[in-house]
A and B are shown apart, each in its own frame.
Chain A
């Protein structure tokens, strides 16, 4: 692997004040049943289109996170959010409800970690409270990227299932020292190993996850064993296996520490094959599961690496391979 320059940033006084999640019905039937702040009974969320449902999930998650952090909406300086839809309409439309400044961002399924990195940087530059949010919706993503919902097709065994959910995090620069802190981050770069199969996103993203993880370990002179757990976003089972082979080759054995938010979201009986995908995976698992475990002291130091596949249906039909990106944050308590 080529290694040019340090891409790891350090932050001081960036506290993860609160996290809030809105999960879809299938997600709340999965392994993390009961972990979510709000679970939908119906993925339409009492709206007449799936796009409006996704938007309402964003509104609900952002409001929920601010309320849970005991803040007034007017105390928030910035909302940084993104989703998978064209022109990131879910996050942007939801932000109509906020008084805070809004940054709409897109790095596919790495969007959540991207928002945490931007938020942390802004807090280090004088802002007090920012909300970082990302999410996806199975039904809106499916029709944008693949087929109509009711079309009867055989799914490939390497496919994943786009998770329905939105996670929002309140980051603050003045808080009690008992809260988890975002201490370091590595910016991902775009890596393309020539994978063409849009069903096999885990394989497309694994080289970028390896690139970012290895860069982080080299930049910080740390080893996988220095962390309680390392969570990737949505590599799925196959992608995680590939990542282990790739990092092993670079001299870092992550097999004891590696978990994947997407792969851990569902039970095997839910027939998602390789597990969940989508911007919701890391946003749901970080805000509902990892944050709770850190506060209870089960984890002291973790890495969260959001993985994103950056293709669109247009580039895929035009015969281009799938570029991918992975952003990473270190969270300590």
Chain B
């Protein structure tokens, strides 16, 4: 028995926590670093490529758009979720993760039609990110305005 003494309703959660297999944080972090880093390096590669023809600022925007496009394609082909299964935050945090979060529900709820399915459910996962992102950026902008940046 993992715990000394009786398992009761009160100490059950502590008992389960002791007994359950834990995520390997080091392994997860290394994978996240490698995959996340690779995605960012590919993005940087696109910036260099586009800089040949465009200004640096335009090149950055184009590189982001390219990554979003590639991630959407990989989601459609059923590859992105397999990368995410071990990359974790490494494939969620970059802009490609956002693309995956919008495209995957859009694909999934296609069966319910374009209005109640794709239209209504597309932002199922990404919606909270957008809402909270906008809210926090407004608060920060207000603070900057009040206290000077």
How long is the Cα–Cα vector from A13 to B74 in the complex, in angstroms?
Answer: 57
For chain B, the count of residues having a C-beta within 8 Å of the partner chain is: 42
Among the stretches B9-17, B51-59, B130-138, B139-147, the one at the interface with A is B9-17
Closest to A151 in B: B104
Query: Which residues from chain B contact A48 at a C-beta distance below 8 Å?
Result: 111
CB-based A-B contact count at 8 angstroms: 100
Does A238 lie within 8 Å of B87, measured CB to CB? no
Q: How far is the CB of A35 from chain B (nearest CB, A)?
A: 28
Inter-chain contacts of B7 with A (CB < 8 A): 245-246, 249
Q: Which of B74-89 contact A (CB under 8 A)?
A: 75-76, 78, 80-89
Q: Is A217 an interface residue (CB 8 A)?
A: no
A143-B23 Cα distance, complex, nearest whole Å: 24
Contact A238 to B81, CB < 8 A, known contacts A148-B124, A207-B12: no
Inter-chain CA distance A154–B21, complex, in Å, is 15
Among the listed A50, A148, A203, which residue makes an inter-chain contact with B16, where contact means beta carbons less than 8 Å apart?
A203
- Taking the nearest CB of chain B, how far is it from the CB of A156, in angstroms? 7
Verify A154–B9 contact, CB threshold 8 A: no
Task: Write out the residue numbers on chain A whose beta carbons fall within 8 Å of the beta carbon of B80.
Answer: 150, 152
Q: How far is the CB of A170 from chain B (nearest CB, A)?
A: 33
Closest to A206 in B: B16
Q: Which residues of A contact B6 (CB under 8 A)?
A: 249
Check A241/B19 contact, CB under 8 A, given A151-B84, A152-B92: yes
CB pair A157 B23 closer than 8 Å: yes
Instruction: Select A194's contact among B12, B76, B83, B100, beta carbons within 8 Å.
Output: B12
A 181-198 to B, binary, CB cutoff 8 A, 1 in contact else 0: 000000000000111000
Does A284 make an interface contact (CB < 8 A)?
Answer: no
CB distance from B100 to the nearest CB of A (A): 5
Residues A149 and B9 in contact in the complex (CB < 8 Å), given A154-B88, A157-B21, A238-B20: no
Question: In the complex, how many angstroms separate the beta carbon of A254 from the nearest chain B beta carbon?
Answer: 14
**Given A150-B75, A150-B103, does the pair A158, B85 have CB atoms closer than 8 Å?**
no
Please tell me if the beta carbons of A147 and B1 are within 8 angstroms of each other in the complex. Answer: no
- Whether, in the assembled complex, A153 has its beta carbon less than 8 Å from a beta carbon of chain B, the answer is yes
Partner among A151, A245, A248 whose Cβ is within 8 Å of the Cβ of B81: A151
A96 CB–B CB distance under 8 Å = no
- Is B97 in contact with A152, judged by CB distance below 8 angstroms? yes
A85 to B17 alpha-carbon distance, docked (Å): 30
Query: Given A157-B23, A238-B21, 20 other A-B contacts at CB below 8 A?
Result: A48-B111, A51-B111, A147-B104, A148-B104, A148-B108, A150-B100, A151-B84, A153-B85, A153-B88, A154-B85, A154-B89, A193-B13, A194-B12, A195-B13, A200-B20, A203-B16, A203-B20, A241-B19, A242-B19, A245-B2
A and B contact pairs by CB, cutoff 8 A, 8 listed: A147-B125, A150-B78, A151-B101, A152-B81, A153-B85, A200-B20, A245-B2, A245-B15
Interface pairs A-B: 8 shortest CB-CB: A152-B84, A154-B88, A150-B104, A148-B104, A148-B108, A151-B104, A203-B16, A49-B111
